[in-house]
């Protein structure tokens, strides 16, 4: 695994933790509707992501510019609105059998009533959506937004 991918995964883990934490607080503590809460949590994590990806992951030689940030925002927002919210909607409304099966077969036997079915359903959908958008974001950030000069180590 290249160093760049390792750095991307590390930043992704941090941002994903931030995103999941905010999402769960907004939904389960403050009673937000899922999709607006997801937009808020992801936009917050996205701002941290841009700074960390620009300086730490891709070590972009270009200075941070409005154009570059706008491209980053557009790519991430598309991932959020289309990919992530689409997957979350499908998994929490259309394909509920999948997260419900995970709850019934794995979570409930292992953890009893510690986690609600809704909690497992939302977080399984969010995890699936996050993986899909992580792949989307990495590919477009690497090719379009934060172009790093390839080194022998990263090839």
- What is the spatial distance between Cα 12 and Cα 151, in angstroms, rounded to a whole number? 22
CA-based nearest residue to 103, from 118, 84, 85, 88: 118
**The overall pTM is greater than 0.85:** no
Domain assignments of the chain as residue spans, ordered by start: 3-145
Could you count the other beta carbons within 10 Å of the beta carbon of residue 33? 9
One digit per residue, the tens of pLDDT, for the chain of length 155 reads: 588 788 888 888 898 899 999 999 999 999 999 889 988 998 888 888 878 877 777 766 655 567 777 888 888 888 877 998 899 988 888 887 777 788 888 888 888 888 888 888 888 888 999 889 888 988 887 788 766 555 545 44
Three-state DSSP state, 59 = coil
Nearest to 59 by CA among 154, 147, 138, 136: 147
């Amino acid at each position: 695994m290249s160093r760049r991918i390792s750095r991307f995964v590390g930043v992704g883990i941090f941002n994903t933790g931030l995103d999941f934490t905010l999402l769960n607080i907004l939904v389960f503590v403050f009673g937000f509707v899922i999709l607006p809460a997801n937009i808020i949590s992801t936009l917050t994590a996205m701002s941290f992501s841009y700074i960390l990806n620009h300086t730490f992951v891709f070590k972009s030689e270009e200075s941070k510019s409005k154009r570059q940030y706008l491209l980053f925002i557009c790519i991430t927002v598309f991932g959020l609105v289309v990919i992530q919210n689409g997957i979350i909607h499908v998994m929490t409304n259309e394909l509920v059998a999948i997260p419900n099966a995970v709850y019934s077969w794995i979570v409930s036997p292992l953890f009893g009533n510690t986690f609600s079915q809704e909690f497992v359903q939302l977080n399984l959908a969010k995890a699936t959506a996050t993986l899909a958008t992580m792949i989307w974001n990495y590919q477009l950030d690497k090719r379009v937004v934060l172009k790093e000069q390839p080194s022998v180590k990263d090839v």
